[in-house]
Amino acid sequence: MGEGRQHMRSSERGFAMPEIGRRQALGVAGVAACGLALAGCGADAAEPERAQGIKGQVIAKTADVPVGGGTVVDRWRIVVTQPTEGVYKAFSAVCPHRGCAVGLPKENVMTCPCHGSEFAADTGKALTGPATGQLTAYQVKVEGDGIVVV
């Protein structure tokens, strides 16, 4: 047959199906795999749900949250930070990129161990990607020695 024409093969039901070679099949599979990989790294995951039943709860003690650092409250997947002396912030510890838990803040930056996204400990804003969305914020206040969600 001439070049550019596909060979046709009859199936058991009488339909003609084009024959494709091994190289074509592998090429198509490779392109599909690359497309899925790029799609998986490109966009942020859906915003995580806010922790339920947390309003009014003491989520951390002020003594457990160092200036420029913080603590992760595993029960609610929240990270509590103290970016400057006496200022406390709380954010979801769930990275908006793919849902991994961010690490403890160091020098006012929280890093996701899965893909390296970094977030500001004072705003939750993404500083470096691949995450583009910010961490979900919780409003907090200090009551005695406890940090309470408002």
**What pLDDT, on a 0 to 100 scale, did the predictor assign at position 138?**
94
pTM tops 0.75, yes or no:
no
49 pLDDT band (50/70/90 cuts)? low
- Give the tens place of pLDDT for each residue, 23-46: 665 555 544 444 433 334 444 444
Superfamily of domain 58-149: Rieske [2Fe-2S] iron-sulphur domain (2.102.10.10)
Of 19, 141, 148, give the one whose Cα is nearest residue 86.
Answer: 141
Beta bridge partners of 138: 90
When comparing pLDDT for 84 and 47, which is higher? 84
| Total Cβ atoms within 10 A of residue 124 | 22
The ranges assigned to domains in the chain are 8-42, 58-149
Q: Which is it for strands 58-61 and 146-149: parallel, antiparallel or unpaired?
A: antiparallel
For the chain, what percent of residues have pLDDT higher than 90? Answer: 40
C-alpha–C-alpha distance, residues 44 and 54, integer Å: 25
